[in-house]
Amino acid sequence: MEFEDLKKRQSAVWGAAPFERVAAEIADVHDDLVERLEPLDGVTFLDVACGTGGVAERAAARGAEVTGADFAEALIATARRRAEEQGLRVRFDVADAEQLPYGDESFDVVASCFGVMFAPNQRAAANELRRVCRSGGRLGLACWTPDGTIGDFFRLASRFQPPPPAGAGNPLEWGTEERVRELLGDAFELEFVKLETPQTGESGDQLWELFSTSFGPTKTLADSLPEDRRAELRDAYVGFWESYRTDDGIVQPRQYLVTLGRRRP
């Protein structure tokens, strides 16, 4: 199953905005995932679909020998700049999660935070995760769940855009234990942890400004719509976030699944 045209479009979409602004909203997830994987000096660490490098940066700061891979050239350019500014040594490659340019069993730790879940060919991406992880190596994934508020966020967007091509996997399936076991259970001893990370903001309007300018998929969708439909999209998202208003502003609980694995011999 090939989705080369789709992936080219996705690469452009994800690189169409300063994603690092949105990545800052999941810094706690980056911290938690790296903490659970405990990278040490000399450990080879791969961050798959690394975006602007949040996980890669943290692993490098803890002494790992880190490689980050993402198919969006613009995101990789930002990741390289950020690592240089922090004095971190990280190799960043423009690479497809479904066809990683690394040898078999190249890494002690393979991780992905809200990244590999968006590969349209889930089986191919899963095969690559297992292939590049050494025997006895560790796996760490953070993926949004389908039954949480991020599922609602995605379903809202789907009302304004065409359906994905036939055969493309639903990214939120990676947030279910059943699907992850289907994809990776034969290669890894798996354990799962369900966690939440809050999306906070001053208002729905402020969060719309953030996502419509800095989250590639939302920005691209909004820019593609005629003025009246864009206004509908904006109103829908503002209303969505305002439904989570508290005395402290917007606090939207976002549920995700952490998958931890040990590569079977």
Q: 125 lies in a domain?
A: yes
State the Cα–Cα distance between residues 33 and 258, nearest whole angstrom: 8
Model pLDDT, residue 176: 98
- pLDDT at residue 45 greater than cutoff 90: yes
Q: 153 lies in a domain?
A: no
Please list, in sequence order, all residues whose beta carbon lies within 8 angstroms of the beta carbon of residue 93, skipping any fewer than 6 positions away: 67, 68, 69, 76, 101
The predicted-structure confidence for 46-63, as pLDDT tens digits, reads as follows 999 999 999 999 999 999
Q: What is the 3-state secondary structure (H, E, C) of 46-100?
A: EEECCCCCHHHHHHHHCCCEEEEEECCHHHHHHHHHHHHHCCCCEEEEECECCEC
Q: 138 lies in a domain?
A: yes
Q: 179 lies in a domain?
A: yes
Q: How many structural domains comprise the chain?
A: 1
Q: 240 lies in a domain?
A: no
- Could you tell me the residue range of the domain that residue 180 belongs to? 4-145+164-197+255-263
CATH number, domain at 20?
A: 3.40.50.150
- pLDDT at residue 1 greater than cutoff 80: no
Nearest alpha-carbon partner for 2 in 145, 139, 167, 237: 167
Do residues 255 and 148 touch, judged by C-beta distance below 8 A?
yes
Do residues 64 and 109 touch, judged by C-beta distance below 8 A?
yes
The predicted-structure confidence for 216-226, as pLDDT tens digits, reads as follows 999 999 999 99
For residue 41, CA distances in Å to 48, 61, 123, 135, 136 come to 20, 10, 32, 19, 17
